[in-house]
Amino acid sequence: MSSLPIEGLDGRSDRTKGGHGTAVNKWNEFTVDQNARVAALAATTNTTPPVIPKFEELTQDFVCGRVLENGTMENRNNPPIAPYMAQFSQFLLDDVKPGGNPYAPKVTVQYLSGFKTALFKKFPPLTSTNETPEWYDELYQGLNLRSTAECIRRGGKVSRKTVGFPHDTLLVMVLFLMTQLKAALGYEERAVLVLLFHVIGRAMELASTTWESASWDPDRDMLVFDWGDIKTGRQYEMTLHPHHDGWEMDPIHALACYLMCGSPSYKASASVAEMGVNFIFPQYKLSDGGAAGKVSDIIDKCRKAKVEGIPDEAASQSCRVAATDDMLFNTQLSFFAAIARGGWKCKVDSLIFYYLTQKVHVAEAGRALSHWPNPKDRVYAPSLDVIITDRNRRNVELLCQNLFMYTPIASMLNGRLKGFRNVMVASVLMYLKPVKKALGNDCLLAKAVNDAASGLFSP
C-alpha cells in the first residue's frame, strides 16, 4: 500500500513525509481490524456498533468534539479521539511484521507519533493550547514503556543506538576528504562534517540554514545564525568560533575554504519561490536522497577509503553523537551549557533564566567544542589588522574581494558580513603554511590565494 500524501507537511524531508504517510496507513489498518472485531461482537447482541473512520474520513466533530469560538476544544483534556487513540496504541503494541516478527519499540512509537503529527496538522484545535497535550503524552509514554518492556521480555534489542566516532577519527576523515581527486567537493564535504560537529546538528537542520540569518559578533568574535531544531520545532541562536588546536576542525576555516574553493554547483537559490534566499549548503537541501542520506554517503566514502576508527553503524547523526560526547566529557563545561547547545528539552526552576542566558551557554559550549582550555573565557579570532598598513590597506581589501568573487554571497560578504569575511581571510592566511604541508603546495586553497593576490603585492 502506498503512503498517503499528508497535506501541510511539505516543509519536511521526503523521508519524514513518507513516515507520516506510513503511520496513517497503520491507522487505516487499525480501523479495518477494529471495526471488524466490533461488528462480529455486535452481531451476537443484535446491536449497531460505532464505526471508526479512516484518516481521510475523519471529521472535526469525531476528533475534537465541540470547538469554541476561540478555536479551542470544549473538552481539551479528553477529546473524543483520545479513547480511539488508546485503542490504536494497543493495536500497535500487538502488531507484527508481515513475516510474524514483532516491531522494535522505536518503530512502534514512531507509528503513533507519526499519526499524531498528521492528525494534529489536519485538526488545529488539537494544538490550540498545547502542542503536546497531556492525554497524548501519557499515551505515548505508556506505549513506549510497554513496548520496551515486551521487547526486553522476549530478549530482543530495544533500539539501534546511533554511534559516534572519536575526535581523532573525524580529523583523519577531514584530511582524507580534502585530498581526494575532486578537491572542490572535498572542501565542501569537510565543511559539512565540521559544521555538523560544531552545531551538534542533524543534516536537515544544517541544510535549511541560510546566510540571511547569519551575523558577525565583533565583540565576541563569533558567527551567529538562527538555528531550528527539526524535532522540537524550537528556534534559537547558534554560534561558531575559531578553533584552538589548528585548522582541520576550525569551522570558520572550513567555511572559508568551502566558499573560496567549493563546487561550481553551489547555487544561491533552490527554486524560484526561494529566490534571494542563500542556503549555506543548497546542494544538501536539494538532495534527492535527503540531507541525512547525503551525509551518510560522505561517511561511507571515508570508510571505503580505509579511514580507521569509523564504526560500521556510523551515519549522519554520528557527528552529533561525537560532539555530545566531546562536551559531556569536558570537565570545564557546565552540563547546562551542553544542554543549551544541543537544543535538548530542559526543565529548570527558572525558565526566564534559561531563555535569557541561552545564547551565553550556547557560545560557551561552542568554545568547548573548539577545544579552548576555559570555554568561559573570551576568545579572539584571527585578524587582518596585524598585516594591514596605510600602504597596503587597499590591496588587502581587493584580496578579500577577489577570494570570494565567485561565491553567490559575494555582495553579502563585502557588505554586512564583511567582519566575518575578514576573519575568514585572516584564518586562511594564518594557516596557509600548515595547510600546504598537509595538502601540498599546489592544493586548491593555495592556488585560490595565489590567484587572488596576483599583481596586488610586491614580492
CATH of the structural domain 167-453, one choice from 1.10.1300.10, 3.40.50.2300, 3.30.420.130, 1.10.443.10? 1.10.443.10
Q: From residue 227, how far is each of 200, 266, 343 by CA, in Å?
A: 11, 21, 10
Q: What percent of the chain has pLDDT over 70?
A: 86
Confidence of residue 345 (pLDDT cuts 50, 70, 90): low
Asked if the model's pLDDT at residue 322 lies above 60, the reply is yes
C-alpha cell at 253: 576555516
Asked if the model's pLDDT at residue 131 lies above 70, the reply is no
pLDDT tens, residue by residue, 376-419:
999 999 999 999 999 999 999 999 999 999 998 999 999 999 99
Asked if the model's pLDDT at residue 198 lies above 50, the reply is yes
Confidence of residue 60 (pLDDT cuts 50, 70, 90): very high
Please give the mean pLDDT across all residues of the chain. Answer: 86
Least confident of 42-51, 101-110, 202-211, 354-363: 354-363
pLDDT at 16: 45
C-alpha cell at 53: 473512520
Confidence of residue 264 (pLDDT cuts 50, 70, 90): low
Asked if the model's pLDDT at residue 267 lies above 90, the reply is no
Q: What percent of the chain has pLDDT over 90?
A: 56
pLDDT tens, residue by residue, 216-255:
999 999 999 998 776 666 778 999 999 999 999 999 999 9
What average pLDDT does the segment 282-305 reach? 82
Residue of 210, 227, 165, 209 whose CA lies nearest to 359 = 227
What average pLDDT does the segment 202-219 reach? 92
In angstroms, rounded to a whole number, what is the distance separating the alpha carbons of residues 368 and 457?
Answer: 38
In angstroms, rounded to a whole number, what is the distance separating the alpha carbons of residues 133 and 64?
Answer: 13
pLDDT tens, residue by residue, 296-307:
999 999 999 999
Confidence of residue 271 (pLDDT cuts 50, 70, 90): very low
Asked if the model's pLDDT at residue 13 lies above 80, the reply is no
Asked if the model's pLDDT at residue 436 lies above 50, the reply is yes
Asked if the model's pLDDT at residue 12 lies above 70, the reply is no
Confidence of residue 199 (pLDDT cuts 50, 70, 90): very high
In angstroms, rounded to a whole number, what is the distance separating the alpha carbons of residues 313 and 78?
Answer: 42
In the beta sheet, which residues pair with residue 238? 225
pLDDT tens, residue by residue, 151-186:
877 777 655 567 888 889 999 999 999 999 899 999
Confidence of residue 289 (pLDDT cuts 50, 70, 90): low
* Amino acid in the structure at residue 362: V
Least confident of 66-75, 176-185, 279-288, 442-451: 279-288
Count the alpha carbons within 13 Å of 302 in the hemisphere toward its beta carbon. Answer: 30
Residue of 315, 333, 334 whose CA lies nearest to 165 = 315
Q: State the pTM of this model.
A: 0.68
CB 122 within 8 A of CB 21: no
What angle (nearest 5°) sits at the alpha carbon of residue 323, between those of residues 330 and 420?
100
CB-count exposure of residue 65 (10 Å: 0-12, 13-18, 19+): middle
In angstroms, rounded to a whole number, what is the distance separating the alpha carbons of residues 4 and 19?
Answer: 10
Confidence of residue 213 (pLDDT cuts 50, 70, 90): very high
Candidate ranges 3-7, 224-228, 442-446; pick with highest mean pLDDT: 442-446
Asked if the model's pLDDT at residue 353 lies above 60, the reply is no
Which residues have a Cβ under 8 Å from the Cβ of 341 and sit 6 or more positions away? 200, 238, 327, 361, 362, 365, 366, 369
The structural domains of the chain, with segments of one domain joined by +, span 14-153, 167-453
Residue, of 400 and 201, whose pLDDT is higher: 400
Asked if the model's pLDDT at residue 3 lies above 50, the reply is no
Confidence of residue 457 (pLDDT cuts 50, 70, 90): confident
C-alpha cell at 246: 589548528
Asked if the model's pLDDT at residue 64 lies above 60, the reply is yes
pLDDT at 358: 78
pLDDT at 22: 86
Can you give the chain as a three-state secondary structure string?
Answer: CCCCCCCCCCCCCHHHHHHHHHHHHHHHHHHHHHHHHHHHHHHHHCCCCCCCCCHHHCCHHHHHCCECCCCCECCCCCCCHHHHHHHHHHHHHHCECCCCCECCHHHHHHHHHHHHHHHHHHCHHHHCCCCCCHHHHHHHHHHHHHHHHHHHHCCCCCCCCCCCCCHHHHHHHHHHHHCCCCHHHHHHHHHHHHHHHHHCCCHHHHHCCEHHHCEEECCCCEEEEEEECCCCCCEEEEEECCCCCCCCCCHHHHHHHHHHHCCCCCCCCCCHHHCCCCECCHHHHCCCCCHHHHHHHHHHHHHHCCCCCCCCCCCCCHHHHHHHHHHHCCCCCCHHHHHHHHCCCCCCCCHHHHHHHHHHHHHHHHHHHCCCCCCCCCCCCCCHHHCCCCCCHHHHHHHHHHHCCCCCCHHHHCCCCHHHHHHHHHHHHHCHHHHHHHHCCCCHHHHHHHHHHCCCCCC
Residue of 267, 282, 259, 281 whose CA lies nearest to 402 = 259
Taking the alpha carbons of 181, 187, 191, 192 in that order, is the dihedral positive or negative? negative
Asked if the model's pLDDT at residue 203 lies above 50, the reply is yes
Residue, of 150 and 261, whose pLDDT is higher: 261
Which residues have a Cβ under 8 Å from the Cβ of 90 and sit 6 or more positions away? none
pLDDT at 129: 66
Confidence of residue 364 (pLDDT cuts 50, 70, 90): very high
Question: In Å, how far from its chain's centre is CA 445?
Answer: 28
